């Protein structure tokens, strides 16, 4: 293979359309601070995603940090070790103690039974992740949170457009956080958002992301600079116009993988949940001991053929230096997550991945 194939490639609108948007920004002289493109993108996303309120951010990590501030979270927060480090880093940056619990072997999301067992008098919140865009057990987690008086903040970085029945997955929990990084299904180069359910909470979030200003002389919160620029918002509006086609194309890629890999000994594919509309943000496979080559061996083999898969998520967050000494980071507490992390390999998936290139990827795995 004479060209490189990566796990993800950003979908981009025609350059001419983006240049036209840039000209409008240039002419307006409004580059940030909630300009016309920013306001329009918030409205358009609420309509497309089926959510009540959304606050745009410069990236998903700052959105996570701000969400914890918005809910005044203190003490311990139960979360997953099987995620990108931003999930747990946001807790440390807020002076919170992460408490890791194990994941469900099928969904790869937090196991509600393990969550309940980890709750102490210091627990104030749960931060689950909709891993690869697959929904957590939102009913069980919601009921547990209500019974125990806990807040729920969903890291929904992978879950753009995911629906459970007719309901947006983003409407569950107290807040949901999105990432619009270039590798995501929907991107604004860099960006993110917080989804909330009341105008009061949106106002608080908007204050927090703009230094706490309510007007030019009044500061009511110890806020941060988390604003999305007009350039990022303009790209987002153009991306949104083509999102239905993007999701259709990603589904075609996912289906081709499933057709060729579903019955291969030693390869496990994630199951599909009935009644859930997924976005195919990633395509993980799990290499078992009876496959012809190890997970790391396959990873290296593909790389020699310019196919850049990703061991996503390996290693576990709980294995990094700033977390490994936490009692909850003990390997015996996270056996399922540890096993999954040693098996996972995310294959390239993006709308412009050709059938020819995908066939080469699959053939490289099987031969």
CATH code of the domain in which 329 resides: 3.90.1150.10
Do 115 and 43 lie in one domain? The reply is yes
Mean pLDDT of 309-337: 98
pLDDT reported for residue 1? 61
Is the CB of residue 135 less than 8 Å from the CB of residue 169?
yes
E strand or H helix at 22: helix 15-28
Joined tokens for residue 126: 């749960």
> Is residue 1 domain-resident?
no
The CA-based angle 177-120-317, given to 5 degrees, is 45
Mean pLDDT of 205-210: 98
* Phi, psi values for residue 55, rounded to 5°: -120, 120
Mean pLDDT of 56-71: 98
With H, G, I as helix, E, B as strand and everything else as coil, classify residue 55.
strand
Query: Which range of residues forms the domain containing residue 30?
Result: 15-241
Do 157 and 273 lie in one domain? The reply is no
Q: What is the spatial distance between Cα 91 and Cα 98, in angstroms, rounded to a whole number? A: 7
Is the CB of residue 19 less than 8 Å from the CB of residue 360?
no
Residues of the chain with pLDDT > 70: what percent? 100
pLDDT reported for residue 44? 98
Do 273 and 179 lie in one domain? The reply is no
pLDDT bin (cut points 50, 70, 90) of residue 2 is confident
Do 254 and 175 lie in one domain? The reply is no
Residue spans of beta strands (DSSP E) within 216-315: 218-219, 267-268, 276-277, 283-287, 307-308
How many domains in the chain?
A: 2
Which spans in 50-134 are helix H?
A: 60-70, 86-93, 112-118
pTM value is 0.97
């Amino acid at each position: 293979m004479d060209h490189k194939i990566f796990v993800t490639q950003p979908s981009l609108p025609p350059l001419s359309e983006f240049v036209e948007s840039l000209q409008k920004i240039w002419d307006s002289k409004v580059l940030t601070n909630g300009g016309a493109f920013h306001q329009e993108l918030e409205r358009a996303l609420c309509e497309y995603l089926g959510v009540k309120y959304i606050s745009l951010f410069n990236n998903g990590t700052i959105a996570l940090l701000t969400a914890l501030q918005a809910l005044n979270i203190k003490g311990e927060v139960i979360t997953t070790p099987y995620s990108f480090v931003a999930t747990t880093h946001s807790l440390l940056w807020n002076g919170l103690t992460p408490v890791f619990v194990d994941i469900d072997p099928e969904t790869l999301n937090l196991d509600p039974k393990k969550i309940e067992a980890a709750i102490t008098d210091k627990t104030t919140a749960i931060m689950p992740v909709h891993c690869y865009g697959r929904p957590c057990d939102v009913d069980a987690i919601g009921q547990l949170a209500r019974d125990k008086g806990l807040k729920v903040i969903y890291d929904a970085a992978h879950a753009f457009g995911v629906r459970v029945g007719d309901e947006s997955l983003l409407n569950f929990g107290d807040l949901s956080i999105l990432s619009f990084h270039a590798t995501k299904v929907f991107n604004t180069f860099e960006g993110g958002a917080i989804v909330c359910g009341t105008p009061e909470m949106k106002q608080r979030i908007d204050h927090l992301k703009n230094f706490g200003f309510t007007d030019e002389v009044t500061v009511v919160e110890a806020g941060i600079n988390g604003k999305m620029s007009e350039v990022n918002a303009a790209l987002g509006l153009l991306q949104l116009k083509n999102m239905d086609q993007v999701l259709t194309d990603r589904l075609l890629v996912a289906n081709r993988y499933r057709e060729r890999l579903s019955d291969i000994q030693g390869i496990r594919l994630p199951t599909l949940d009935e009644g859930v509309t997924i976005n195919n943000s990633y395509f993980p496979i799990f290499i078992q001991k009876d496959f012809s080559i190890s997970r790391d061996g396959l990873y290296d083999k593909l790389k020699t053929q310019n196919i850049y898969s990703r061991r996503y998520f390996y290693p576990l967050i709980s294995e990094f230096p700033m977390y490994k000494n936490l009692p909850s980071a003990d390997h015996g507490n996270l056996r399922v997550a540890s096993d999954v992390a040693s098996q996972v390999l995310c294959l390239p998936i993006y709308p412009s991945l050709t059938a020819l290139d995908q066939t080469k990827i699959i053939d490289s795995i099987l031969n």
